């Protein structure tokens, strides 16, 4: 019966729900993603990082400048969600992720190695992986990511006041965690580049 009541409530409010989704996609998602990207850049302002801006978190990436070869980097980091495509809006990834893989976070990506070669590198760099995990990063198979927990009320307040900077404070803490173990990521990166070369 509860589901029937929910369905009835949705049917009665479908116009508002459709308008809400459109507004999220066209206005809210771009604003919150821009605020998060600005917060990341600000937190890394004293570091020598390269930023590739994009219209979407999946199109934006960053890496130490020393990793850039021909205006590209492999591996690289993104401020995104591993499984963001499972949710209909980016706002949900900030406010209501159903699991850590759907949460906005710092994600490690690579492209130029076969999975078996990447696994072999991880196997030989267990100490680096321990350091990375001790800093709060998670491993799920070959994925390495740091989920960021945002305060939904702070985000709502930020939208109400027209300023999301305070709501993006958790990004600074995530950047600090990344900074603590950047050498371990450097070690993984150097091994990967040597193998791909």
Instruction: Kindly report, residue by residue over 127-184, the tens digit of the pLDDT.
Output: 999 999 999 999 988 899 999 999 999 999 999 999 999 999 999 999 999 999 999 9
- pLDDT band at 197; cut points 50, 70, 90: confident
**The tokens 């459709």 sit on which residue?**
18
What sign for the dihedral angle of Cα 186, 81, 175, 67? positive
Concatenated DSSP letters of 60-73 = -EEEEGGG-BTTB-
CA distances from residue 170 to 6, 10, 40, 103, 187 in whole angstroms, order as listed: 34, 33, 10, 12, 26
**pLDDT of 26 over the 60 cut:** yes
Residue 10: both structure tokens together: 């949705």
Count CA atoms closer than 13 A to 39's CA, side-chain side.
25
List residues bridging with 49 in a β-sheet.
Answer: 64
Q: Tell me what the mean pLDDT of segment 24-34 comes to.
A: 96
The pTM of this model reads: 0.91
List the single range of 32-46, 80-94, 114-128 with lowest mean pLDDT.
Answer: 80-94
Helix (H) or strand (E) holding 98: none
Determine the angle formed by the axes of helices 2-12 and 14-23, rounding to 10 degrees. Answer: 70
β-strand 138-140 against 105-109: which pairing, if any?
unpaired
């Amino acid at each position: 019966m509860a589901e029937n009541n929910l369905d009835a409530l949705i049917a009665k409010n479908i116009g508002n729900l459709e308008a809400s989704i459109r507004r999220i996609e066209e206005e809210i998602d771009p604003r919150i993603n821009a605020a998060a990207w600005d917060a990341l850049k600000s937190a890394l302002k004293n570091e020598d990082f390269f930023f590739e801006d994009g219209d979407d978190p999946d199109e934006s990436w960053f890496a130490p400048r020393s990793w850039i070869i021909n205006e590209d980097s492999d591996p690289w980091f993104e401020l995104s969600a591993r499984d963001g495509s499972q949710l209909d809006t980016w706002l949900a990834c900030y406010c209501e992720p159903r699991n850590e893989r759907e949460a906005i976070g710092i994600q490690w990506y690579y492209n130029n190695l076969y999975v078996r070669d990447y696994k072999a590198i991880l196997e030989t760099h267990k100490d680096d992986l321990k350091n990375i995990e001790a800093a709060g990063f998670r491993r799920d198979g070959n994925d390495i990511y740091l989920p960021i927990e945002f305060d939904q009320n702070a985000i709502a307040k930020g939208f109400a006041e027209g300023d999301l900077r305070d709501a993006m404070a958790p990004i600074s803490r995530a950047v600090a965690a990344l900074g603590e173990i950047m050498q371990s990521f450097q070690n993984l990166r150097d091994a990967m580049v040597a193998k791909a070369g």
